[in-house]
Amino acid sequence: MAERDAEREAERGAKREREPEGAREGALLGRLRAMERAVGEIGTTLDGTTTCRELAAFTARHLRATAAVDLLTEPGTAPRRAARASPPEPARSPESAELSGRPEPPEPEPAGHTDRSVAGSAGAPTAPAAPDAHRLSVPLAVHEEEPLGTVTLIRTGGGPFSADEVALARYAARLAARHLGHARRLAAAEDAALHLQRALVAEPGRPHPNLEIAGGYLPAGPRALVGGDWFETVRLHFGRSLLVVGDVMGHGLDAAVDMNAYRTALREVAATDLPPHRVLRHLDSVVAEDGARRPATVLLVRVDPARGTATFASAGHLPPAVFGADGSAELVDLPVGPPLGTGVGGYEPTTRPLRPGDTLLLFTDGLVERRGEDIDDSLARLAALRLPPDCGPDQVVDQVLHRLGAHGAEDDVAVLAARIRARPPQ
């Protein structure tokens, strides 16, 4: 096999020496133009599957061969076929196509882990899959990095791969490998950030046992980074609990850092057992003195199960909803102060009774807001929901997220539902 490869390489070298200088310059110019096209056609997105498809389409079109891209997953496992493309058919009529009887190119078999010295030494095709087929396999790797997979090309009914074509295939594979590496590192970073965000919003403080709660958090899209949405519960004296939902303006890690700072400060202030509007007033003054913090909208609800009441205070946040035992919903009418961090203050409390079976729903704007829709219409859609009777907090969260299509929302969604636990009969 090695002798055959050496003979082919020697034949190519001799052929290059016999080529006229003009023809060689034309071949080099064509190769450079193809490389320029590769830069524009491969790696147009941060999605690894799309990059593999672009690589297969490019090599199939420019090298006139059936291309297959196989990715290595776990060590010791078989490669996974990520993309396949066939060369474009030459312009000919259906009649001539039928008369030609030219067979379809064979399907390239998934290549295993190719030894770098073999794949990188001669660059010649491996053993052909058919008498008139020529096969070329190059690694998906950047220089000395570990290969991510293999690109396999099979050409039937034509000549063998030239040295320029081998070089173009290797260049395209290296280019795709670089983009695949970036995409994998970005996906790993986003996955870690998303787990961090979920950990932050999924572990609120524990309320008193006399209150049932349920929460939910949905990131905006599969590649969403951490954001500023959160919910929280704080246990107060005399069996009361403080419910909190907030949204720091902006997205990304900076918003998440500010969100965590707001949560920490709120826990400390709420521990003093101040009424909700005074908690907001204190937080607003503290944040306003720190110019580095982003503004945030926050809604506080202090629930008193013994008296069956809830006291609300809002800092620029959307009003909560109350779902009755019959499944109907209504929005709580309450005064809205400015967002935290403005230093303006002016927060007012509102108290209303909670009937047996009532479930409070606090949420961030991503639950209801939709592009091009007035916010009043968005809130009216929530208020028009009618859930099955006697839904508990868990069911309310699930039903609302599903019916409002929150899983496809353009912004992060955080929701917190709470209901006074019914006392067992004496």
Q: Tell me the Cα Rg of the chain.
A: 32
Under DSSP, is residue 212 helix (H, G, I), strand (E, B) or coil?
Answer: strand
Return the pLDDT at 211: 92
Dump pLDDT digits (tens) for 324-366: 999 999 999 999 999 998 888 889 999 999 998 999 999 999 9
Q: C-alpha distances in angstroms, 73 versus 77, 138, 141, 149, 362?
A: 7, 17, 14, 9, 43
Q: By C-alpha distance, which of 46, 38, 40, 45 is closest to 151?
A: 38
Cα torsion 175, 112, 109, 32 to 10°: value is: 20
Return the pLDDT at 304: 95
Q: What angle do CA 222, 228, 233 make, to 5 degrees?
A: 110
Q: Are 43 and 51 in contact (CB under 8 A)?
A: yes
Q: By C-alpha distance, which of 258, 262, 196 is closest to 234?
A: 262
Count CA within 13 A, CB hemisphere, residue 156.
16
CB neighbours of 36 closer than 8 A, spacing ≥ 6? Answer: none
CB neighbours of 421 closer than 8 A, spacing ≥ 6? Answer: 209, 210, 211, 212, 305
Structure tokens at 351: 């108290």
Give the distance, in angstroms, between the CA of residue 258 and the centroid of all CA atoms in the same chain.
22
Which is it for the CA torsion 112, 117, 118, 121, positive or negative? positive
Return the pLDDT at 152: 95
Which is it for the CA torsion 421, 269, 266, 354, positive or negative? positive
Return the pLDDT at 120: 35
Return the pLDDT at 279: 94
| Range 176-195 burial, b when 16+ CB lie within 10 A, else e | bbbbbbebeeeeeebeebbe
Return the pLDDT at 136: 94
Q: Are 55 and 83 in contact (CB under 8 A)?
A: yes
Under DSSP, is residue 425 helix (H, G, I), strand (E, B) or coil?
Answer: coil
Interatomic CA distance for residues 220 and 406, integer angstroms: 9
Q: By C-alpha distance, which of 38, 46, 347 is closest to 180?
A: 46
Return the pLDDT at 188: 83
Return the pLDDT at 291: 72
Count CA within 13 A, CB hemisphere, residue 115.
5
Give the distance, in angstroms, between the CA of residue 175 and the centroid of all CA atoms in the same chain.
23
pLDDT in tens, the chain (426 residues): 445 555 555 555 555 555 566 666 777 787 788 888 889 899 898 888 999 999 999 999 999 999 999 998 876 678 899 999 999 876 443 433 333 334 445 556 554 433 332 333 333 334 445 667 899 999 999 877 889 999 999 998 778 898 889 999 999 999 999 999 888 888 887 777 767 666 665 555 677 789 999 998 887 755 555 567 889 899 999 999 999 999 988 776 677 778 888 888 888 888 888 999 999 999 998 888 877 788 899 999 999 999 999 999 999 999 999 999 999 999 999 999 999 988 888 899 999 999 989 999 999 999 999 888 899 999 999 999 999 998 999 999 999 999 998 887 778 889 999 999 987 665
Return the pLDDT at 109: 56
Structure tokens at 58: 């490019």
DSSP string for residues in 51-103: HHHHHHHHHHHHHTSEEEEEE--STTS--EEEEEE-PPPPS--HHHHHHH-PP
Interatomic CA distance for residues 50 and 41, integer angstroms: 11
* H-only helix segments in 243-275: 252-270
Q: By C-alpha distance, which of 104, 111, 115 is closest to 136?
A: 111
